[in-house]
Amino acid sequence: MKKSISMVLLAFTACAFLAGCNKKSGASSEAAASVAKVIVDHTGTQVTIPANVERVVISSLLPLPSVYCLYMGGPKKLVGMHPSSKAAAVNSYLSTCYPEIKDIDSNFVKGSTVSVEELLALKPDLILYNAGNQEEREIFNSVGIPAVGFSTNIAGFNTIETYAQWIKLLGEIFGQTKRSDEIIEYGRSVNEMVKSRTASLSENEKPVCLFLYACEANSITTYGGNMFNQYWIETCGGKNASFDLKGSASINMEQIYQWNPDKIFITNFTPALPEDLYTNAIGTYDWSSIKAIQNKEVYKNPLGMYRWAPPSSDTPLALQWFAKQIQPELFSDIDMDAEIKSYFKKFYGVELTDENLNDIYHPARAASGK
Residue 86 region, left (φ>0) first, then alpha (ψ -120 to 50), else beta?
alpha
Q: What is the largest CA-CA distance in the chain?
A: 78
Give the predicted TM-score (pTM) of the model: 0.81
Compute the C-alpha angle 199/204/210, nearest 5°. 85
Given a contact cutoff of 8 angstroms between Cβ atoms, the answer to whether 157 and 223 are in contact is: no
Q: What is the DSSP string of 138-198?
A: HHHHHTT--EEEE-SSTTTT-HHHHHHHHHHHHHHHH---HHHHHHHHHHHHHHHHHHHHH
DSSP 221: E
**The pLDDT of residue 108:** 95
**The pLDDT of residue 5:** 35
Bridge partners, residue 36, by sequence? 50
Ordered per-residue pLDDT tens for the chain, 370 residues:
334 334 333 343 344 333 333 333 333 334 344 578 999 999 999 999 998 999 999 999 998 998 999 889 889 999 999 998 998 888 888 888 899 999 999 999 988 899 999 999 999 999 999 999 999 999 999 999 999 999 988 888 899 999 899 999 999 999 877 777 888 899 999 999 999 999 999 999 999 999 999 999 999 999 999 899 999 999 999 999 999 999 899 999 999 999 999 999 999 889 999 999 999 999 999 999 999 999 999 999 998 888 888 888 889 999 999 999 999 999 999 999 999 999 999 988 889 999 999 999 998 888 787 7
Letter string b/e over residues 269-306, b meaning 16 or more CB atoms within 10 A of that residue's CB: bbbbbbebbeeeebeebebeebebbeeebbbbbbbbbb
Q: Which of 38, 43, 46, 87 is nearest to 65 (CA)?
A: 87
Compute the C-alpha angle 136/141/147, nearest 5°. 70
Rounded-to-integer distance, Cα 317 and Cα 308, Å: 9
Measured between its terminal Cα atoms, the distance across the chain in Å is 34
Given a contact cutoff of 8 angstroms between Cβ atoms, the answer to whether 223 and 213 are in contact is: yes
Rounded-to-integer distance, Cα 145 and Cα 157, Å: 29
**The pLDDT of residue 309:** 84
**The pLDDT of residue 8:** 35
Amino acid at 189: S
**The pLDDT of residue 241:** 97
